Chain A
Amino acid sequence: MKKDYKILALKILAPFVAIILAAFISSLIILAIDKDPLQVFYTMFKFSFKRIDSIAMILFNATPLIFSALAVSIGFKMGLFNIGIEGQYLIGTFMAALVGFSIKGLPAVIHLPLVILAGIVGGMIWSFIPIFLKVKRGVHEVISTIMLNYVAYSLIHFLIADVFRDRQQSLVEGLGSVLVRTPKLAASAVIPKMHGFLAFFGVQLPKHVYLNWFFPISVVLAAGIYYLIMRTPFGYELRAVGHNPEASCIAGINQGRIYFKGFLLSGAVAGLVGLSDLLGYFRYMDMDFPRGYGFDGIAVALIAQNNPFGIIASAILFGFLKRGSEGIQALLKVPMDTIVILQSLMIIFIVVITKIINDYVKRLEKREVA
């Protein structure tokens, strides 16, 4: 009985305990580079929360991670590990860019959905390959998705640098060289910012903030996925297969079909990961298009224990870490590399500590059940 409350408390507290412990361990590293940890954390908070535009930036940072972690969590729910979000979103982003720059003259109400759809399809194509190999040939999805990430990197490189490279860029004054990138996307493919909407509520965002409608979309999607997994027959089957494939099979659930549908869904969501950056910020895809969202998404999903709403929260935490470290870099003159190390360490600590606590909780539960 007592233990039950303990389990519940631990479950809820796990991420917070993890954050505090991670902050503590990071302090040692900050001390090692001769800075005052308290001052660093204070700066992070002040920089992040003092101004409304900073909060908007955090949400902008969180957007791709929400999509990415949702995609990962769908895989986890059915017992599969989709490490291929990385490749899936790069392919999706490229497909979206392709539709974005090659079609001209469409009204935005048609063009923008089409571009988003292209992103989704791209992600699905790249997730189809591993799941096809798994269901038909028994290839483990971890191996195939990892390999496909590399294929995606090279393919994107080839497509951007050789096939679709924009060779008609006018040189920006002062800059000597042109970017290796696709042509600019048509204006009709751009996702609107949230400035107008928020101004309606009296919140004024400055121009350099890129928070766009993908953030609310990601939140709605999280709710939708929660509904899908917890309420619909499909989600029920997904969870059943994830926990016990054999019993599910005997109950008449077609495991292969669930794997297919679930993985394609995961890929579809992955296809949205890069779109906030593409359609709301860069408006072209270049060689340096942000990478790593796929892997960060795994961390976000782990911390949130695959709960869609938890994912929103932990993605925002990641967004804050990124924003906050920009702050210490700017205000405390800590070198960029140190910041990157610090940020990664925070992430690792949080993931590891949450994992340890969760395992402990599971052991407690197991013992109750055994």
Chain B
Amino acid sequence: MGKAVELKNITKRFPGIVANDRINLEIQKGEIHAIVGENGAGKSTLMKVLAGLYQPDEGEIFIFGKKEKISSPNKAIELKIGMVHQHFMLVDRFTVLENIILGAEKKKGFTIDEKTCRETLKKLLELYNFKLDLDARLEDISVGHAQRVEIMKVLYRGADILVLDEPTAVLAPQEVDELFINLRRLKEEGKTIIFISHKLDEVLSIADNITVLRRGKAVGTVPADSVTKEELARMMVGKPVLMKLNKTPAEKGEVKLSLRDVMMKGHGGRNVLNGVTLKVCGGEIYGIVGVEGNGQKELAEAIIGLQQDYDGDIKVCGKPTKGLSIKQIRDMGVAFIPEDRHRQGLVLPMKVWENSILGLHRKEEFKKKTSIDIKKAEEFTSRNVKGFSIIISSIHQAIEGLSGGNQQKVILSRELSQEPIVILAAQPTRGLDIGAMEFVHQQLLEKRREGKAVVLISADLEEVLSISDRVGVIFDGEIVAEFTPEETTLEDIGVYMLGAHKKAGESA
């Protein structure tokens, strides 16, 4: 067994920051190699160097022992390196099939030989046990499915070295297990897998070797079976990490958010929400768990007012919100952290400070006569950057240049800054490192202590169980079961998430 990848002294700089600082890394052929590190440590950057998206400023790359210059993504594919990005790069209006074959179509004369493509794909899907509707349009499928499309894209192109940037962030626990079975099978077939994740348990269970990055530098590589979670965390942060939350007992207040029989039809006329009823009180965190695509997105969008086409009632502080504009609903004190940060949470080409006042830009505090008080906005942004330890080179850089986790922190700091009454958080810790995740959990608990109502929609069961006061399981557009974290287990919830048996009517 030789080395699949060897990086020597790779340095990559961005204006004001050294994203990768003389990094050395060796990856053996046929291993699963995990890369961990805090948000902004330089993981994605390093992988993009490997995938030909960035050119390193210094350093050398050896692929299967041969020195190579990976000048473009096409070159990377030639070298059989395929990357699945942290943020999907898919075409919304195309079908799953079209997305996968895009750019690598099999031709028949001048036309695309769809049949052959389909056959090939079907075989691949079967081989790796992926469930995907090849004819669904991408805009209609969940984030979890989009992730699978990205992985299929890489496999379809015959990659031998797979780079997966936070692939599990969007998956439900069962899906993660499935993915891992697939990854192990790929490994058996001799493929090399490089895998980035913030979930240390996962990393320890799947990886052979783990490399830790800290602030652009490689701190070290360790075999997975010789470290503990705590040791890894300490390597990442540089000091011991407390992995414990102090959760005070709930002091439930009045009902702040209530939904009654909310029904909503989706694209095909199918009910995407099937009579959701729930109440969330001040001083309480209500967790909603479920496999992606079971109505979480629609539920959130109905509450914030993006989707108005529903039957039933949604009330905030006793006032119905139907027919109100998003702005009016937000002004009632509803904060929203959307799950798809690129599409719904940020305006990527705009600056960090501009993004951090998005939605607040009409507030009195940012007003100076007819214009936006840029100085105040900058101060506000700088405060958020400090408060949430957001790593950036300047608040004037376009937000698309931030690492995934730091983009998420900009949204969080913005949405939590306005003393909201109801906080609607969809996957708020997706892509955050353990430190940041803990910080967000503390923030949410703090809001709960202040008497705010928090709705936490998450695919991360452990997260939901650790901070929620009540947990609702959503399946097929319905809350099929409701628990308190004490009275249930991960396995129990997992069963409901897959809809094995409904437990409706038993809700507290």
**Residues of chain A having any CB pair with chain B under 8 Å:** 1-2, 4, 227, 231-233, 236-237, 239-240, 243-244, 246-254, 367-370
Contact = CB atoms under 8 A, between A and B. Distances in A.
A248 B325 CA distance: 13
B165 to A, nearest CB: 12
B362 A233 contact: yes
B48 interface: yes
Interface of B: 13-15, 48, 53-54, 57, 85, 89, 304, 306, 325-327, 330-331, 336, 338, 343-350, 354, 358-359, 361-362, 367, 370-372, 374, 398, 400-401
Closest CB pairs A-B (n = 5):
A251-B359, A252-B327, A231-B371, A244-B347, A251-B358
A303 B407 CA distance: 33
Contacts of A249: 306, 326
B326 to A, nearest CB: 5
B15 A254 contact: no
Contact of B327 (A2, A243, A254): A254
Contacts of B354: 236, 240
B475 to A, nearest CB: 26
B378 to A, nearest CB: 14
A367 B54 CA distance: 7
A244 B340 CA distance: 13
15 contacts: A1-B14, A227-B371, A232-B370, A240-B358, A243-B349, A246-B344, A247-B344, A247-B346, A250-B306, A250-B336, A250-B338, A250-B359, A254-B327, A369-B398, A369-B400
Contact of A254 (B13, B85, B325): B325
Most B Cβ at <10 Å: residue of A232, A236, A244, A251: A251
Contacts of B343: 244, 246-247
Contacts of A233: 361-362, 367, 371-372
A243 B336 contact: no
Contacts of B361: 233, 236-237
B306 A248 contact: no
A65 B437 CA distance: 54
Nearest to B336: A250
Nearest to A3: B55
Contact of B372 (A236, A247, A252): A236
A156 B320 CA distance: 52
A79 to B, nearest CB: 11
Nearest to B402: A369
B358 A247 contact: yes
A248 B354 CA distance: 12
Most B Cβ at <10 Å: residue of A231, A243, A252, A368: A252
A250 B48 contact: no
Contacts of A370: 48, 53-54, 85, 89
Most A Cβ at <10 Å: residue of B15, B331, B348, B349: B349
Most A Cβ at <10 Å: residue of B13, B344, B348: B344
A236 B85 CA distance: 30
Most B Cβ at <10 Å: residue of A227, A237, A243, A369: A369
Contact of A231 (B13, B306, B372): B372
B15 A4 contact: yes
Nearest to A252: B327
A1 B57 contact: yes
Given A1-B13, A251-B358, A368-B14, 4 more contacts: A231-B374, A233-B361, A247-B347, A252-B331
Contacts of B326: 249-252
Contacts of A2: 57
A220 B41 CA distance: 47
